[in-house]
Chains A and B, each alone.
Chain A
Amino acid sequence: MTADLTRRQFLGATGVGLVGLGYPTRSPAAAADAEAPTPKRGGVLTIGQDDNPIGLDPHKSAAFSTDNIVEQIYTCLLRWDATSSHVEPDLAVAWENPDPQTFVFHLREGVMFHNGDPLTSGDVKFTFQRLVDPATRSPWVSIFSVIRAIDTPDARTVVFHLATPFAPFLNYLATVKYAAIVNAADVKRRGDLVKGGVGTGPFMLEDFQPDSLVKLKRNPHYYEPGLPYLDGLDFRIIPEEGSRMAALRAGSVQLTWLSSPDSAAQMRSAANIVAPEPKAYSRLLLLEFDQRRPPFSDVRVRRAFSLALNRELIVKVVWRGQAGLSAALPPAQAPFAVPSADVLGLPYAKEDVAAAKALMAEAGYAAGIDTTFAVSPSNYGDVLIAQIIQQQVARIGIRINILQKEWGNLVADFQSTQSPISMAGLVWGPDPDTNISIRLDSHSTVNPGKTTDPALDDLLAKGRQSYDMAERVRIYRAVQQRIADMAYVITPCASPLRWEMWTTKLRGYRAVPSAQRVYLRQAWLD
């Protein structure tokens, strides 16, 4: 399995990718034919970033803002394709899975870190040891503790021995946020990588001033021939969405993203900006109930709540139609996710106020309930959605008091039940197991709603251990069915994670459902 792309394949794939994303036809040169545009070398791309990175150590932070930057500096054994649904070779050019608990990876020849050190199997082994080391305090300890032992028979081969079969393994290995490969010698020298480190990615760190700026420059030794075309990336941190829009218009930044469909619509009228309509809905909206106490400890009340909601209204009003109905996995997680068209066929998903009222009466709440719903105003749409839900469930006697809380406050409060209802927007997860097990498995230390369902735990455990794709799809469909039936959480819809937009001068770039900007490695400025 070789990973070198020929130029024809690359240009062809770009064309297909762009067309597949609904790329407007004002650039016919991007279509997959012989008249493909020629990439140009040079230029620094200024990116409008919405948040400060929390340090640059890829193993220590789960923050989206850190991930956006380290994904340019580090690469992994595998990587995601443009649909964010299949893994491809990256640092590992081939791999085998001789038995359910063993993975053998063969590393690419001639890869160098940014400081000139060659990549060896020792660095890979060190990476995964560092990830499970308690001193690192990595958020992913629980994921990678499944690795029992790592062998490095030679400099180009790494053998992972797992304690149990672990189906999500390859998916995590393909995601920089989880498994960025670091240089053992460099980490030992620096102690930690919070201020930066050397990686194998297309760009290397030039300057990092916390809370101020991040400058990356081209890696001349990057292992994909000819790439990257850009000379560097400049991350400008502009927290205000309005200011970012203005900056993109004026050309102060050349690539940015917005989080509301209305802002995105405004940008579409600008002639010098490409603002494709995102087709992948990967941000799942999750309504969670605290199940430890009445009334939401009663499944009938939760089911009634679910029946009272009109999900399509939320999609139309809040997301202007740019969202999809969803079960507990967002539509972007195909084939595991229940497709949007089938969501209303799940238990208690279709609006039925009469049935909801009947359930409330049966549970003894015919007189109604007074409860609190905490939301964070910093996420677009959350407050609006809470208000819509407030109106809808008022019809069955649930009177909601909406509390707007700052995010840090919200998390702490919900996990100690100050507010029985809360809402979260989950970012794209590499595996169907990722988000569900954090939020709904009774063994998870997070499990905000304190769900305790042995049947669900059992399904999730099976899902983690089965390598058979068809069986996994069956299992996760059953999981989504169970969650809908028991209404532990309600998932009204899934929206795009971000509305990405860029100047027409940027070519060869494509936005992906996971909102990783990794395709900057093959982009160029005209």
Chain B
Amino acid sequence: MLRYAAGRIALTLPVLFGVSVMSFAIIHLIPGDIVSVLAGPTVGVHSQAAQNIRHALHLDQPLPVQYGIWLMGALHGDFGNSLIFGLPVGPQIAQHLPVTLVLTALSLIFSIAIGVPGGVVAATTRGRWPDLTIRAVALLGLSTPAFFVGVAAVLLLSIYLPWFKTLGTVDLHGDPLGSLETLLLPAFVLSLPSATTVMRYTRVAMLEVLAEPYMATARAKGAGRLRVLIRHGLRNALLPVVTAIGVTAAQLVAGAVVIEQVFGLPGVGQLMLNAIYHRDYTQVQATVLVVTTLVVLINILVDFSYYLLDPRIQQHG
């Protein structure tokens, strides 16, 4: 078990390294650079003043050299300062991360709370109208873009339910309950595509399990229908569902960027978007790495959860 854990964690480092190279390359290959932001509207981007700024930020060096400079700093724990604000990138991320984490966690809870029961109901009523309705709604939830649902939700609620505070402030330290209330709607909107994925995995897994002989045996022995369903059915169907949850958790982190933009939430998604838009290279690099680490961690947790959930893996090691 320990060897398995150590192996999985050790694999993280090459992944992070690879991601750092890729994101560095991509952000620097995008045309336009930060100089137009820093120099302002009165300075031409090819003028001497602009070149001076580029030189001070090492932007006139070849890309591998620039990457090397960054890597040297990173290995010493110094990820540099935001090129726009001059503030260290770490504290900036630390301030924005909790919002995204809470948003993603809430979304995950919603996805499971909607997806799993939905999948179970769809499986047990297979072919009948509940199943068909759930699948139709799921298709709708999957196909409708998040920004459309988000903006529509905000507009409709503001007209028909004006007391519901859409777009409130998010201050997790000062006002945790109010912030949670503000995050409920965005989390719900974010969860819709993932909920459908979870629902479909659950449905398929449940259908397989329901066809197993031991389900009939349990009923024959006199166990109640619900008990059979949950204790014997769902528990065994959970493994593929956990995979689905693991995959969607990573998708939620990505989807959070759009949701944060629509709802004006000060999370890591917005931080990264602004940094990319302004070509704030150091901020982008650091933020991408943090988000990557998050996704990798989630996947490791998913792997470990198999170990806990499936006794067969424990036996074989």
Chain A residues within CB distance 8 Å of chain B = 52, 54-55, 61-63, 137-140, 142-143, 192, 194-195, 209-213, 234, 236-240, 242-243, 245-247, 249-253, 406-413, 415-416, 438, 444-447
Are A211 and B274 in contact, CB atoms less than 8 angstroms apart?
A: yes
CB distance from A435 to the nearest CB of B (A): 9
Question: Which of A137, A243, A250, A446 contacts B151 (CB under 8 A)?
Answer: A243
Query: B31-50: contact bitstring with A at CB < 8 Å (1 yes, 0 no)?
Result: 11100111111111111111
B271 at the A interface (CB under 8 A)? yes
Contacting residue for B49 out of A143, A234, A412, A445, CB 8 A: A445
User: Could you list 17 further interchain pairs (A-B, Cβ under 8 angstroms) beyond the known A137-B38, A139-B41, A406-B32?
Assistant: A139-B43, A195-B85, A211-B92, A212-B95, A213-B169, A236-B264, A238-B263, A243-B154, A243-B263, A246-B157, A246-B158, A249-B159, A250-B167, A251-B162, A438-B42, A444-B42, A444-B44
Smallest beta-carbon distance B271→chain A, Å = 5
Contact A413 B166 (CB under 8 A): no
Interchain nearest-CB distance for B30 vs A (Å): 7
Q: Can you report 5 residue pairs joining A to B where beta carbons are below 8 Å apart?
A: A211-B274, A236-B264, A240-B264, A409-B30, A415-B45
The yes or no answer to B292 lying at the interface (CB within 8 A) is: no
Selected from B40, B82, B159, B264, the residue in CB contact (under 8 A) with A62 is: B40
A-binding residues in B (CB < 8 A): 30-33, 36-50, 53, 82, 84-87, 92, 95-96, 147, 150-151, 154-155, 157-159, 162, 164-169, 171, 261-264, 266, 270-271, 274, 277-279
Q: Is the CB of A246 within 8 A of B96?
A: no
A243 near B264: Cβ-Cβ < 8 Å: yes
Name A426's closest neighbour in chain B (CB-CB). Answer: B41
Bound-state CA distance A139–B158 (Å) is: 41
Pairwise interchain contact B266-A247, C-beta atoms closer than 8 A:
no
Chain A-chain B contacts (Cβ-Cβ < 8 Å), number: 156
Complex Cα distance, B132 from A281, in Å, reads: 56
Q: Are A139 and B166 in contact (CB under 8 A)?
A: no
CB-nearest residue of chain A to B264: A238
In the complex, what residues of A have CB within 8 A of residue B85's CB? 54-55, 194-195, 210
Which of B33, B87, B169, B171 has the most chain A CB atoms closer than 10 A to its own CB?
A: B169
Instruction: Please tell me if the beta carbons of A408 and B32 are within 8 angstroms of each other in the complex.
Output: yes
In contact, A252 and B167 (Cβ under 8 angstroms): yes
Find chain A residues with CB under 8 A from B44 CB. 415, 444-447
Nearest-neighbour CB distance to chain A for B59, whole angstroms, equals 12
What's the minimum C-beta distance from A138 to chain B, rounded to whole angstroms? 8
With A52-B274, A211-B266 as given contacts, are A250 and B162 in contact (CB-CB < 8 Å)?
A: yes
Whether A243 and B167, one on each chain, are in contact in the complex, defined by CB atoms closer than 8 angstroms, is yes
**B169: chain A residues within 8 A (beta carbon):** 213, 234, 236
Given contacts A239-B264, A240-B151, contact A412 B42 (CB under 8 A): no
Closest Cβ of chain B to A442, distance in Å, is 12
Contacts of A410 in B (CB 8 A): 32
- Considering the chains assembled together, what is the distance between the CA atoms of A416 and B33 in angstroms? 13
B46 touches A415 (CB 8 A): yes
Does A211 contact B270, Cβ atoms closer than 8 Å? yes
Is there an interface contact between B46 and A139, defined as CB atoms closer than 8 Å?
Answer: no
Note all chain B residues with C-beta closer than 8 A to A52.
Answer: 274
A-B CB proximity, top 7 nearest: A139-B40, A445-B47, A238-B264, A408-B32, A212-B266, A445-B44, A250-B158
| Nearest chain B CB to A262 CB, angstrom units | 14
Q: Which residues of A contact B45 (CB under 8 A)?
A: 411-412, 415
B262 pairs with A240, CB closer than 8 A = yes
Q: How far apart sit A34 and B37, CA to CA, in the bound complex (Å)?
A: 50
Give the distance in Å from the alpha carbon of A411 to the alpha carbon of B49 in the complex: 16
CA distance A173 to B243 in the complex (A): 63
Q: Collect the chain B residues with CB atoms within 8 Å of residue A250's CB.
A: 157-158, 162, 164-167
- The chain A residue with its CB closest to the CB of B42 is A139
User: Quick check: B84 and A55 within 8 Å, CB to CB?
Assistant: yes
- Contact among B38, B92, B167, B278 for A246, CB-based, below 8 A: B167
Asked if B37 and A54 make an inter-chain contact with CB atoms under 8 angstroms apart, the answer reads yes
Quick one: given A55-B85, A140-B42, A446-B44, are A409 and B31 in contact (CB under 8 Å)?
yes
Most chain A CB within a 10 A radius of its CB, from B167, B171, B261, B266: B167
Docked pose: A416 CA to B96 CA in angstroms: 37
Q: A413 to B84, alpha carbons, bound, how many Å?
A: 21
The residue on A at minimum CB distance from B262 is A240
- A243–B262 CB distance below 8 A: yes
Q: Complex Cα distance A162/B96, Å?
A: 47
Q: Check if A242 sits within 8 Å of B154, measured CB to CB.
A: yes
Which residues of chain B are within 8 angstroms of A243 by Cβ–Cβ distance?
150-151, 154, 167, 262-264
Taking each of A54, A192, A251, which has the highest tally of chain B beta carbons within 10 Å of its own beta carbon? Answer: A54
B154, B155, B166, B278 — most chain A CB neighbours (10 Å): B154
Contact partner, B154, options A246, A409, A412, Cβ 8 Å: A246
Chain A residues, Cβ within 8 Å of B84 = 54-55
What are the residues of chain B within 8 A of A140 when measuring CB–CB? 40, 42
For A210, the chain B residues whose CB sits under 8 A away are 82, 85, 87, 92
Q: Is the CB of A192 within 8 A of B264?
A: no
Given the complex of chains A and B, what is the CA–CA distance between A237 and B271 in angstroms? 12
Residues of A within 8 A of B171 (CB): 213
**Residue from A137, A212, A253 whose CB has the most chain B CB atoms within 10 Å:** A212
Nearest neighbor of A415 in chain B, beta-carbon distance? B45
How far, in whole Å, are A245 and B158 apart by their CA atoms in the complex?
A: 9
Query: What's the Cα separation between A444 and B44 when bound, in Å?
Result: 8
Report whether A237 and B39 are in contact in the complex, using a CB–CB cutoff of 8 Å.
no
The reply to whether B166 and A194 contact each other, CB–CB distance below 8 Å, is no
In the bound assembly, the distance between CA atoms of A414 and B25 in angstroms comes to 23
CA distance A377 to B149 in the complex (A): 22
Identify the closest chain A residue to B86 (Cβ). Answer: A194
Contact partners of B165 in chain A: CB under 8 A: 250, 252
Q: Is the CB of B86 within 8 A of A192?
A: yes
Smallest Cβ distance from B185 to chain A, in angstroms?
Answer: 11
Residues of B within 8 A of A213 (CB): 169, 171, 266
Cα distance, A61 to B165, chains bound together (Å): 34
Tell me whether A446 and B42 are in contact in the complex, defined as CB-CB below 8 angstroms, given that A211-B270, A246-B166 are known contacts. Answer: yes
Q: When A236-B169, A240-B264, A242-B155 are in contact, do A212 and B40 touch as well, CB less than 8 Å?
A: no
Docked Cα-Cα span, A446 to B92, in Å, equals 33
Cβ contacts under 8 Å, A236 to chain B: 167, 169, 264
Inter-subunit contact B167/A137 (CB<8 Å)? no
Q: Do A246 and B155 contact each other (CB < 8 Å), given the known contacts A192-B86, A236-B169, A438-B41?
A: yes
- Name B43's contact: one of A234, A412, A446 (CB within 8 Å): A446
For B156, the closest partner residue in chain A by CB is A246
How far apart are the CA atoms of A140 and B39 in the complex, in Å? Answer: 10
Query: B306 → chain A, closest Cβ, in Å?
Result: 38
List the A side residues contacting B262 at CB < 8 Å.
Answer: 240, 242-243
B-side contacts of A249, CB under 8 Å: 155, 158-159, 162
Contacts of A409 in B (CB 8 A): 30-32
Q: Which residue of A lies closest to B260 (CB)?
A: A239
Taking the nearest CB of chain A, how far is it from the CB of B217, in angstroms?
55
In whole angstroms, what is the CA distance A407 to B39 when docked? 15
How many Å lie between the Cα of A433 and that of B42 in the bound state?
A: 13
Q: With the chains together, A93 CA to B92 CA distance in Å? A: 42
Q: Which residues of chain B come closer than 8 Å to A446, judged between CB atoms?
A: 41-44, 47
Taking a contact as CB atoms closer than 8 A, the residue among A137, A238, A239 that contacts B53 in the complex is A137
